[in-house]
């Protein structure tokens, strides 16, 4: 089941620069998308979300872009900080009553000082 | 800030034994979920629970699994007869019933090791 894919297993970025994490999906019924950050031995922490009626949502250093025609979303972190080093998961939901989340495989971000 | 809590943090059990994983969701949340992550694999949905009944479940959530909200605060996942392949991190999550905000908030997880 590859409905949500994160093709880059890892990304290394210099502190202060922009981090761009990408996610692709195949299910056109998905209408809500979320990004989570996960540290080892902890649960996923919600970062930012976007509804399919929007193409951009911004929260501080984090911006999520949604391209529905390409079935692609991205998370931009600017400026990147060493504390941002973690595994980032994108997740998608069909917005039905249960709203189960379908997760991508994650991208490990390393921000170097 | 309110958070989802889970106990125990690590559970070791023998194959065939029953285990109960416990979660306390955020107090004003109305939807509750269990997910699991087998080492090296994706986070997978197991079950969602709303208004004291299962609203969705995945193929993984077979007759060996059950969920319960025994009181106003706890949400439990029971595995009746554990198998080696049940070894995973199990995450509980909860969310408000406030459309269109569908963010789910996750607990720290319970690491289940079946030997």
Looking at residues A48-58, what average pLDDT do you find?
94
Helices (H), chain A: none
Residue of higher predicted confidence among A53 and B92: B92
Q: With CB atoms and an 8 Å threshold, state whether B33 touches A43.
A: no
Looking at residues A88-95, what average pLDDT do you find?
91
Looking at residues B9-16, what average pLDDT do you find?
97
Q: Please, which pLDDT band fits residue B101 given cuts at 50, 70 and 90?
A: low
Residues of B whose CB is below 8 A from A105: 42
| Closest to B33 measured CA to CA, from B48, B55, B15 | B48
Least CB–CB distance from A100: residue in B48, B101, B103: B48
Q: With CB atoms and an 8 Å threshold, state whether A99 touches B109.
A: no
Give the span between the Cα atoms of A107 and A112, in whole angstroms.
Answer: 16
Reported as a single tens digit per residue, the pLDDT across B37-55 is: 999 899 999 999 998 999 9
| Closest to B80 measured CA to CA, from B61, B55, B53, B58 | B61
């Amino acid at each position: 089941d590859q409905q949500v894919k994160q093709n880059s297993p890892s990304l290394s970025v210099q502190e202060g620069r922009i981090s761009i994490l990408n996610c692709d999906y195949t299910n056109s019924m998905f209408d809500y998308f979320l990004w989570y950050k996960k540290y080892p031995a902890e649960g996923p922490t919600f970062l930012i979300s976007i509804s399919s009626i929007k193409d951009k949502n911004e929260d501080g250093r984090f911006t999520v872009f949604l391209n529905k025609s390409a079935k692609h979303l991205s998370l931009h972190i600017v400026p990147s900080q060493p504390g941002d080093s973690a595994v980032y998961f994108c997740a998608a939901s069909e917005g039905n009553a249960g709203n189960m989340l379908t997760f991508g495989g994650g991208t490990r971000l390393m921000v170097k000082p | 800030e309110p958070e989802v809590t889970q106990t125990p943090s690590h559970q070791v059990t023998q194959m065939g034994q029953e285990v109960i994983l416990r979660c306390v969701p955020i107090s004003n949340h109305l939807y509750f979920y269990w997910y699991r992550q087998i080492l090296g694999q994706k986070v997978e949905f197991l079950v969602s629970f709303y208004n004291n009944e299962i609203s969705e479940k995945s193929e993984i959530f077979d007759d060996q699994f059950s969920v319960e909200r025994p009181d106003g605060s706890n949400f439990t996942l029971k595995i009746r007869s554990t198998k080696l392949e049940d070894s995973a991190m199990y995450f509980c999550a909860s969310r408000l019933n406030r459309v269109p905000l569908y963010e789910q908030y996750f607990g720290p997880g319970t690491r289940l090791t079946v030997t």
